[in-house]
Chains A and B, each alone.
With several copies, the nearest count.
Chain A
């Protein structure tokens, strides 16, 4: 293996927190006590938690070492399909940390919260402009939360029409959270097969859509990275049967400034600000999943809503048909600041973002298609999906390829998803990766394909240079050890 990005170096073992420390040690600066102690009835007193006592350095070293076991966007290319792992601008972290934002109490009187209300108001307007959808709520705390909220709105819509419906159509190319969100609203999700081109054909929908079906949840671009070309026909059909169309817009990074979601006939759309709008993923959140809806559905949006009255902003609860609240306060405000800062920094260049994200994905698709099996050889959007078909002969599977890629210094793509492609390898480079880094990744993938033929053990053994080798996930699930 010639000199690729991945290599090894000195890192550190570190015990679990409670295997460190000594009672009486402290890592916290306890504020000076300026009042007397008030006693508490014994029958209420529990004596406090069994936490370890550590010094400040103990804790700093603990988490510094842990961090070195992680791979982040700043460590290297992170082409995790469907996750849009683009660069997280440092300056946006600064904005979110401003005392005026970080210290703001959510129940302050509106006249003392104008800055944050204006920011939210404007962000809603910008997201409306970007999607083409007129009304927006920022309350959902993540994409799936947006899906849930969206499905609640669809549920409320049918309720308001006097007749609830029981089913929702969900394509096999939709994201995994979609059915779960539908289920939470009491809908039965009906799987829909995509056609041989990897997209939905209007005919299928025409056959399946009926008066008892609340609507359809379409991920577009879908999880194969393909644009649903028949989207307008499909939405017409669904509407003609009195249904509504839910759009999963987590892949918006492919189509900003290009597609008008409203014109495509979508009724409810969620966005993942922690993907398209560059806010960090934090190792699993917090995210933010605003939803955008048509005029017809606006009055169902969660409350409170930010409104403007002659230059002053307020939170308005007065929407009797609203589905209600889905977050104690207003969603992940801190994440909104970062997305807002990103939009303010990019402006209309967001179109450029999508163009370059799609260019990079197609460049990878074309560069690797001979080497890896490309189930759907069509122009892709933000990502492209390969499979391990060519490698199976050598008993090399997607998992092996993913693990070996780590040793080359790249984060693996999303694997085994979407389910329609077996052994799927889903690659999303994003627009923030330079051509050199993308070329390095392509070279690595080719070299791995070569190794799969020459020297499959290398792949089966991988990774050998990470902090740990492959882990026993079955064992973990069979007898779960969830706390120490």
Chain B
């Protein structure tokens, strides 16, 4: 087998050195009662060529662009990724290295992640960002737990317009902690209804998503005032579409204490929902309560600039019983990809790309409106919005699937009260022609 270099001579010599005469003898310390009796019952090993054919077949059965025209977003976005990103990621020094425990021979990873942390703070207008968490959902959960640690309070309020799957992950993380999660309803305009806040005190945090699950842009500034009225509560903003901050006011500029979300849009393929990128940023004063790893700048013996993993005291190695975070491996390579992506797109490009997304989405929105469909919520949107169709649209939806068009995401599984409502997403990858085709089809 090409991955196993040991020849039988090698094995014999090595066994001799170890003083044994069989490979089985190596496992003498393993008691009978927990040993396997039978050999592994797994498929016959495939050759490289059989594996390719097998995987081509599996992958070939999937519904992807360009064959499919999909208007699905809702936490996983279809953005162009420059080929140069793939080229650079494929360098083995980048993707086969471990977490940079030995800084002298890991400066590539370390500088890249330091650049990632920096670009993220610039994107979100925050002071510090960590080296990544698993994904947007667990990132939000970690943010709320962090708020609980910092404020020593045990209740948080989160908007119902936060991605429903994220809210479920929050529930899971909170279940064993005994802390409480209150959900805030939404207004007819598609923004979070904060009225409830008044009779909720001692909140560790209030969390909203912007643009939210309906695609609507929340009025963060205004929410911030309400949240910070009580001097202690932390304002947590999350996002599923970071590209929005190519044009929108940043969470930081709106007073967020923690900004977190999913970074998949930043040069990472959707690959059925993972690996993504848990983006997490906060203020300096909270850094020692922040989960996840951090890269810091320092100097070497000769005063030369270099980078290291730092503030590990928050981690598991030292004072292991006191650790505030259990994150070890994170999404390093995805963070590196995001750094490359942000570098290629650049500041100017990022603004233009964000505008293009909004403009295309706006085009489809108005075309559908012209075609007589109701735009359910009238708050401003970025590249997603909700449309209400008339009863029986399911049939049309399925007919469109036949035609390789995915007409958005039905909201009803997540919001039972919103039958016939669909979230549409339009990115730079959808052409006017695709959109016109969709509009034509939904009418026929």
Complex A–B touching at CB under 8 A:
yes
Task: Please determine whether B296 and A481 come into contact, CB atoms closer than 8 angstroms.
Answer: yes
Are B175 and A48 closer than 8 Å at their CB atoms? no
| A180 to B324 Cα, complex, angstroms | 7
What interface size band does chain A fall in? Answer: 35 or more
Q: Which residue of B lies closest to A41 (CB)?
A: B380
A108 close to B72 (CB less than 8 A): yes
**Interface: A105 (CB within 8 A):** yes
Q: Is B194 an interface residue (CB 8 A)?
A: no
Residue of B nearest to A38 (CB): B362
- Bound form: Cα–Cα A112–B297 in Å: 47
A101 interface hit (Cβ, 8 Å): yes
How far is A186 from B148 in the complex, measured between Cα atoms in Å?
Answer: 13
B104 touches A57 (CB 8 A): no
In Å, the complex CA distance between A229 and B27 comes to 11
Compute how far the CA of A285 lies from the CA of B80 in the bound complex, rounded to whole angstroms. 23
CA distance A344 to B320 in the complex (A): 38
Q: Which of B30-38, B198-206, B224-232 contacts A (4 or more CB under 8 A)?
A: B30-38
Once A95-B51, A326-B172 are accepted as A-B contacts, the answer to whether A483 and B117 lie under 8 Å apart by CB is: yes
Q: Is the CB of B98 within 8 A of A78?
A: yes
A residues within 8 A CB of B317? 176, 417
User: Within residues 347 to 387 of chain B, which ones have a CB less than 8 A from any CB in chain A?
Assistant: 347-356, 358-360, 362-363, 380
In the assembled complex, A249 has its CB within 8 A of some CB on chain B: no
Contact residues, A303-359 vs B (CB, 8 A): 323-335, 337, 341, 343-353, 355-356, 358-359
Output the least CB separation between A251 and chain B (Å): 13
Interface string of B270-295 (1 = CB under 8 A from A): 11111110000000000100000111
Closest chain B CB from A112 CB (angstroms): 4
**How far is it, in angstroms, between the C-alpha of A33 and the C-alpha of B412 when the chains are bound?**
33
Once the chains are docked, how many angstroms separate the CA of A184 from the CA of B315? 13
Distance in angstroms between the alpha carbons of A378 and B29 in the assembled complex? 9
Specify which of A10, A56, A130, A334 is in contact with B3 (CB 8 Å cutoff): A56
Task: Contacts A27-B82, A106-B273, A327-B138 given; indicate if A411 touches B3 (C-beta within 8 A).
Answer: no
Task: Give the chain B neighbours of A370 by CB distance below 8 A.
Answer: none
- CB of B391 within 8 A of chain A? no
Known A56-B344, A99-B64: A28·B46 in contact at CB below 8 Å: no
B350 contacts which chain A residues (CB < 8 A)? Answer: 48-49, 51
Closest to A189 in B: B321
- Residue pair A468, B103 in contact (C-beta under 8 Å): yes
A290 at interface by CB-CB < 8 Å? no
Q: Which of A18-26, A204-212, A447-455 lies at the binding interface?
A: A18-26
Kindly list chain B residues whose C-beta atoms are within 8 Å of the C-beta of A162. none
Q: Complex: how many Å from CA A327 to CA B49? A: 31
Assembled-state Cα–Cα distance A113/B58 (Å)? 9
Does A259 lie within 8 Å of B4, measured CB to CB? no
Rounded to whole angstroms, the CA-CA distance of A26 and B380 in the bound complex is 29
CB nearest to A258 among chain B residues? B27
Q: In the docked arrangement, what's the CA distance between A281 and B34, Å?
A: 30
B contact residues around A403 at 8 Å (CB):
104
Question: Which of A38, A52, A98, A264 is within 8 Å of B56, CB to CB?
Answer: A98
Nearest chain-A residue to B246 (Cβ)?
Answer: A48
With A and B bound together, what is the CA distance between A434 and B113 in angstroms?
Answer: 25
B253 touches A46 (CB 8 A): yes
Q: Would you call B416 an interface residue if the criterion is a C-beta within 8 Å of the partner chain's C-beta atoms? A: no
Tell me if B55 and A98 are in contact (CB < 8 A): yes
> At the interface, yes or no: A196 with Cβ under 8 Å from chain B?
no
| Chain A, range 261-298, C-beta contacts under 8 Å to B | 261, 263-265, 274, 278, 280-287
Contact assessment for A63 and B331 in the assembled complex, using a CB-CB cutoff below 8 Å: no
Residue of A nearest to B366 (CB): A38
**Cβ–Cβ contact A432 & B3, under 8 A:** yes
| A45 interface contact, C-beta 8 A | yes
Q: Which residues of B contact A52 (CB under 8 A)?
A: 343, 346-347
Cβ-closest chain A residue relative to B165? A328
Q: A30-B349, A257-B40, A285-B331 are in contact. Are A93 and B117 (CB under 8 A)?
A: no
Contacts of A421 in B (CB 8 A): none
- Tell whether, in the assembled complex, residue A286 and residue B274 are in contact, meaning their CB atoms are under 8 Å apart: yes
Chain A neighbourhood of B97, CB < 8 A: 70-73, 281-283
**B contact residues around A105 at 8 Å (CB):** 64, 70, 72, 76, 78, 270, 272, 406
Asked if B296 and A328 sit within 8 Å, CB to CB, the answer is no
Known: A45-B247, A52-B347, A68-B108. A107 touches B74 (CB 8 A): yes
How distant is the Cα of A329 from the Cα of B275 in the complex, in angstroms? 10
B residues within 8 A CB of A148? 326
Contacts A27-B2, A113-B63, A347-B46 aside, 6 further interface pairs with beta carbons under 8 A come to A66-B111, A86-B3, A284-B330, A285-B334, A412-B102, A477-B311
Q: List 5 A-B contacts (CB under 8 A).
A: A66-B107, A69-B105, A329-B135, A431-B6, A482-B117
Q: Which 8 A-B pairs have the closest CB atoms?
A: A329-B273, A282-B333, A100-B59, A284-B332, A106-B273, A286-B275, A180-B326, A324-B172
